[in-house]
Amino acid sequence: MSETIIQESEISQLTMDIVLSSAAARWGDKTYLHDLETDRRYTYQDIDVISTTMARNLRAIGIGKGTHVALLMGNSADLLLLYLALARVGAVAAPINPEAPARLMAYYLDLCEATAVIADDVCLPALSDALSQHSLAGPVVVRGAATGNFVPFSRLYEETETDQAPFDVRFTDVACLALTSGTTGPSKAVVFTQATMLLVAKSYAEAFDYRSDDTYYICLPLFHTSGLRGAAWVALLKGGSVALARKFSVSRFWDDIHRSQATTFDLLGAMISFLWQAPAHPLERSHRVRMVRVAPVPPYGREFEERFGVRLVSTYGLTDAAAPVARGLDAPDDKFFSCGRLRPGFDLRVVDADDLQMPPSVTGEIIIRANTPWLMPSGYYNNSAANAAQWRNGWFHTGDLGWLDEDGYLYFAGRAKEVIRRRGQNISAWEVENFLRNIPGVRDCAVYPVTSPHGEDEVAASIVLKNPEAGPEVDILQRCREGLLPYMVPEHIEYRTAFPLTPSQKIDKTALRREFEARLQS
């Protein structure tokens, strides 16, 4: 069994209100947040005062303890401060990709049982359509220009002296419902308590030896938990600083790193490939970066380190169950391509189909559990079937494959789940197929990954039409662009008269992928 991450007597102090108050008292005049879009800097004292004001104003408009609040916002200081305020007042944040089309938005609102919404004005057309399918008991707060029966976001910043009541929040209260990518079916909402969000951040802080003089560059979208629990909340616990960008941009990346004086950042999915393949930048070695977290380390990882003058660290984790291993700067050189060793607070095994442990160097399913209370999420919201499916014999079954070496270092060996990894996003083939099957003229379809030059996947769709000789009844690609998130839209579409089948009469996606990639290479 691994060592624990924290004394259990300390866990009850892990609420955002307590942590923020403590951080402000300790590091009051130090910069916590540098908003690179506006160049405004916020000290620890600033975020303590501002988030308190926002929390009280949230309560004044009917968003209080236990309110489920859907967030449809791009990266901004407003959003990061809003997360702090919602946690402080005890509301439940339900972040949604602001680019979601109305159909998916309505599904997510229902899934999270949202009763209030806070959104950027650019989301209003899709949100209006989604709300025709989902009734709200609470307010809609809009950031930006908007007309109608909305609460302006600026209302949250107004000074108020009428509400001085303390924030009655416990560490066991739910703080966030984080949406999965729906890798084995429809998206699910993962339950994070106040303590869980902060314990996971503490795990990152200790595993990678983050310091109070670190500046974390965040260009990951804040509607994902990675940028919060793996960076923003880590800085809050360690007394570090955050430099927040609107989004990832290859052309602007090294300018941002230089301007922010960042010492660390994360690269997910194809982000590392895009930087690697970009032309040389005059500032790509003019920086203070000491550590870059990537998952997984690409084959050209050592060359990446040499070119950019950085060191790569790595991990393995998932939204559903945190990150149980880490490979830090002190790992032996021959473990460079591993995900790392067990972090404090977790147990991990690689097992066969009967949950029996595999010997070293033999591939099996990765299963994990925590030995520290509240370190792992509390399951899927209102989804007992999914909870039962993932938890068996006391372990969380990731559906991912890997193997452990003799020294306990984990090596990732692929995804057993039917998932496509594209542009740093996990895509549910099931969701894309379900959408395609509802397009007029489509009889059946199969969605699967094909190899991308960027080292991850592109989406391919094989479609059997109801009337193959007549062709598609509508422009299928255009329907996809209108109804799916941009990264879900198939890059390749082919039409077939039949599918290859497995012995159990299921569509053989392995054969489809093999055939498709052979045609692409010919």
pLDDT per residue over 148-164, tens digit each? Answer: 889 999 999 998 777 78
Give the DSSP letter string of 7-75.
-HHHHTT-SHHHHHHHHHHHHTTSEEEEETTTTEEEEHHHHHHHHHHHHHHHHHTT--TT-EEEEE--S
Q: Report the distance separating Cα 508 and Cα 341, nearest Å.
A: 36
CB atoms under 10 Å from CB of 263, counted, come to 21
427 forms bridges with which residues in the sheet?
420
pLDDT of residue 216: 98
Q: Grade residue 181 by pLDDT with cuts at 50, 70 and 90.
A: low
Residue type, 310: V
Q: How far apart are alpha carbons 339 and 314 in whole angstroms? A: 5
Rg (C-alpha) for the chain, rounded Å, is: 23
189: β partners: 179
Q: What is the mean pLDDT of the segment spanning 253-262?
A: 98
Least confident of 43-52, 78-87, 406-415: 406-415
User: Measured between alpha carbons, how far is 357 from 347 in angstroms, rounded to an integer?
Assistant: 13
- pLDDT given for residue 1 in this prediction: 40
| Burial of residue 20 (number of CB atoms within 10 Å: 0-12, 13-18, 19+) | buried
CA dihedral 132, 133, 138, 144 (to 10 degrees): -50
Task: Kindly state the tokens that stand for 438.
Answer: 């509802």
pLDDT of 367 strictly over 90: yes
CA atoms within 13 A on the CB side of 517: 15
Residue 455 has pLDDT above 70, yes or no: no
d(CA 411, CA 413): 6
Q: Where does the pLDDT of residue 491 fall: very low under 50, low under 70, confident under 90, or very high at 90 and above?
A: very high
Q: Which tens digit of pLDDT belongs to each residue from 265-304? A: 999 877 888 899 899 999 999 999 999 999 889 889 999 9
User: Do residues 335 and 316 lie in contact, with contact meaning Cβ atoms separated by under 8 Å?
Assistant: no
Query: How would you list the strands of the sheet with 140-143, edge to edge?
Result: 151-152, 140-143, 116-120, 68-72, 92-95, 174-179, 189-193
Average pLDDT over the chain reads: 91
The rounded distance, in Å, linking the Cα atoms of 376 and 342 is 14
Is residue 505 very low, low, confident or very high in pLDDT (cuts 50, 70, 90)? low
HSE-CB at 151 with a 13 A cutoff on CA atoms is 18
Query: In degrees, to the nearest 5, what angle opens at C-alpha 417 toward C-alphas 414 and 423?
Result: 70
Confidence of residue 243 (pLDDT cuts 50, 70, 90): very high
Distance, CA of 7 to CA of 495 (rounded, Å): 59
Helix axes 44-60, 16-27, angle to 10 degrees: 150
499 falls in which pLDDT band (50, 70, 90)?
A: confident
Region 473-501: what's the mean pLDDT?
A: 91
Q: What is the mean pLDDT of residues 1-25?
A: 88
CA 357 to chain centre: 29
Question: Mean per-residue pLDDT for 312-338?
Answer: 95
**Which two tokens mark 88?**
């402080």
User: Nearest 10 degrees: CA dihedral of 116, 73, 237, 176?
Assistant: 40
Supply the pLDDT for residue 504. Answer: 47
Mean of the pLDDT values across residues 239-249? 96
The 10s digit of each residue's pLDDT in 120-145 is 999 999 999 999 988 899 999 999 98
Residue 228: the pLDDT is 94
Q: How many CB atoms lie within 10 A of CB 509?
A: 19
- Residue with more model confidence, 411 or 517: 411
Distance of alpha carbon 20 from alpha carbon 319, whole angstroms: 24
Domains identified in the chain and CATH numbers: 419-521 (3.30.300.30)
Dihedral sign, Cα of residue 382, residue 386, residue 388, residue 393: negative
- pLDDT over 60 at 42, yes or no: yes
Q: What's the confidence (pLDDT) of residue 507?
A: 80
Structure token digits, residue 248:
């990832």
What is the spatial distance between Cα 100 and Cα 503, in angstroms, rounded to a whole number?
Answer: 38
- Give all strands (DSSP E) within 195-329, no chain letters: 215-218, 241-244, 264-268, 291-295, 312-318, 322-327
